[in-house]
A and B are shown apart, each in its own frame.
Chain A
Amino acid sequence: MITFSDRQLKIPKMQQPVYLVTGGMSQFARAFPNKRTEELCIDALTEAAEFINMTPAQLKKYIHTCYYGHFADHFGDQLLGEAVIHDRLGLDPLGNIGIKTGGATGGSTLWEAYKTVASGYSDCALAMGWERMDEVPTDEGNNLISCAADKDWETPMGHIYTGYYAVMAQKYWQVFGKEEDSFRKTLAEIAVKNRGYARMNPHAQGPKKITVDDVLNSPVVAYPLLALDCCLMSVGAACGILADEKTAYEMTDNPLQIDVTAASHTLRVADRRNMEIPLLPNERPGQYDDLGQRFPGGDRYPGFTGFLAARMAVYYAYNMCGIKDPTDDLDLVELHDAFTISDIQTYEDIGIRPYGEGRTYVESGDCYHTNPHTGEPGKLPSNICGGLIGCMHAVGATGIMQVVEVGQHIWNRWGEMHGDEAKWERFGKQKPDDWTNLQVEGAKRGLAISHAGVGSHVTCTIVQHPKHVLERGD
């Protein structure tokens, strides 16, 4: 039973508040044979500039430090890919650095930019992330991704990262899902929801109007995971501009307060050791004492069924930002739905539901923009952009795209950014006849989770409207 010290569990305390000034993103697709990565990054930065009525040149004058999230440079056969992008963005002589934390790279890039502004080193920082996974054949891509596992103990087994990951899905499926058809159907509903929301997002790679049966009839990848349960592999870029209060209000009338935290857990699932469940503000001591009785096999924590890094990232974030209960205090979330089942695991890790009860977040209708059971707004809509399943997973960009999406709801500009006919046309797409504005009405606070692989790194970003900032715990 391992434990953590009080110093390790200290709630972060920042020197000054940090603001999200603007953000932007490129189109996302499986491949862009006609575009270099720098073109996608320039698309993202241009969108961010135009969002606050600046030219890219005007926006660049404010930036003082640059963080670049790019996970898999071995895909591109280009070391220092970050320096290539920095050069093409024309951001000399600014200090810049590359960030790599697997699937959490986007969130980690924001984490670094956040800290540099909070510390006072920079008034304004760029967090730009991208990924380019289309320039090798799929089987070689699978091998390159599997290199993010332990190269001696895991990679030689199949050279397929899904294999190292899906054993956790299998355990959750049997222990907490009890192998029930109804649970399998709930998983499918997440896939239907996220692909459906992606239809309203011109940036999205994987929009699909599908049914639960379509998901259930899709090919088996690794049971219980079916093809339509899995996220996309994408190319694209996203960026966020962070600034201190004075600078932020010089750049725009309407910046949003932002906080980012991070946590980690073992790189190999194999190395997870037993511990007590760290509790969040909305949980009480003893709450999980009977978890193993209610769910036989579920008494090992985090075992193969929880993500400690997700739990600890929100532990730091909720306590720092004064969030007592995520469902009450937040208006929307963007979660790392790499697979439908890991999405459910995350609901529990981040305290939207207690451990073992994640499925009820979907079954209650709370996770929808509009609750399908009541026709009323969902209590805590999730992944309105379509998530990783419907919108994209361009690894280094993903965590940044999520935060830009949350921001656009709080800015009350989601409809403008997703409904613009010219954007649909520019991306070579037909805007659906039934296009619906999925703006979460009155959104004041939101959260985004950025998650690496089997849970080695997770970040939590909280975005709040400055007039509705909760009383801080730090």
Chain B
Amino acid sequence: MGEYNFASKEEDEKRGKVRVVNNRYKPSGIFHYISANTPIKNEEGKLMGVTNPRDMTYIHSYGGEGVFFEGLGKGKLLASKCENPDCEETGSIFMPFRIHCPDCLRKNTVVDITDRAKDNATVHSFMITERTGAFNTLPTPIKFVNVEFEGVCTILMGALIRGEPAIGLKVRPIFKTNNPEYIITDILWVPADWPESDLPEDYTSG
């Protein structure tokens, strides 16, 4: 991945971790490092302000989307489908995964669209940028692609990690099945005919 200011392995090992026991969070380790404030002065030495260092680790629940993020590490692309016969939009398949149907608010059914994504996914739009924000881990330039699937009513955003994007390009997903991080970048995209031998480290076709 990219050349970024990653924490050392030792720091990462000390970094706070969380388990859930009896439906309660059990944090352990170091969740923030404290640094001193420093003065901000102008060229004449006049005090203008101070720096306020902040270093925090958030604890975040995936709730009903957990099944989607867990699926990525297993090489599965799981969508959700409204099967409420009384819903005006019944039968809609959502990717991004939606826990509830946005129309009837009934809980959706999980459906596996991995094969559909492998066989029939195309780029609806794309963009390429060298710019990133702090905490980015994707290599630059980032090639964003919006991927359409047959029979799915929404369009997933992702990153094309090999080849050049174009509207209408056939693509296929690859998954971080080794050392998954359980975040959205566990799924990336390559042109449909890209060779298996040239995938990023830890990624496979699932």
Contact = CB atoms under 8 A, between A and B. Distances in A.
Given A157-B138, A174-B167, A269 B146 contact: yes
A221 interface: yes
Which range contains the number of A residues in contact with the other chain?
35 or more
Contacts of B131: 142, 158, 160, 162-163, 221-222
A471 interface: no
B183 interface: yes
A143 interface: yes
A133 to B, nearest CB: 13
Given A163-B129, A304-B124, A157 B144 contact: yes
A157 B156 CA distance: 12
B133 A271 contact: no
A152 B144 CA distance: 16
A153 B144 CA distance: 13
Interface stretch (B6-14, B15-23, B46-54, B110-118): B46-54
A162 B128 CA distance: 10
Majority SS at the chain B contact face: loop
A143 B102 CA distance: 28
B157 A167 contact: yes
Contacts, number: 139
A271 B96 contact: yes
Interface string A352-380: 00000000000000000000000000000
A150 B146 CA distance: 15
Interface string A112-156: 000000000000000000000000010111111110001111101
Interface string B143-181: 010100000011111110000000100000000000000
B135 A270 contact: no
A174 to B, nearest CB: 6
Contacts of B69: 152
Given A152-B62, A171-B125, A270-B154, A159 B135 contact: yes
Contacts of B167: 170-171, 174, 297
Interface residues of B, number: 47
Interface string B75-100: 00000000000001100101110100
B45 to A, nearest CB: 14
Contacts of A2: 88-89, 103
Contacts of A314: none
A270 B96 contact: yes
Contact of A140 (B48, B133, B142): B133
A221 B129 contact: yes
B184 A153 contact: yes
B59 interface: no
B133 A170 contact: no
B89 to A, nearest CB: 7
Nearest to B144: A163
**Residue among B42, B54, B65, B138 with the most chain A CB within 10 A?**
B138
B42 A270 contact: no
Contacts of A222: 127-129, 131
A3 B124 CA distance: 23
A474 to B, nearest CB: 29
A253 interface: no
A178 interface: no
A33 interface: yes
A391 B201 CA distance: 46
B44 to A, nearest CB: 12
A223 interface: yes
Nearest to A139: B134
A166 B131 CA distance: 12
Contact of B158 (A150, A151, A157, A171): A157
A145 B49 CA distance: 23
B40 A273 contact: no
B52 A77 contact: yes
Given A157-B185, A223-B128, 6 more contacts: A77-B54, A156-B184, A160-B133, A161-B133, A162-B129, A167-B126
7 contacts: A3-B88, A33-B42, A153-B96, A158-B142, A164-B157, A166-B127, A174-B167
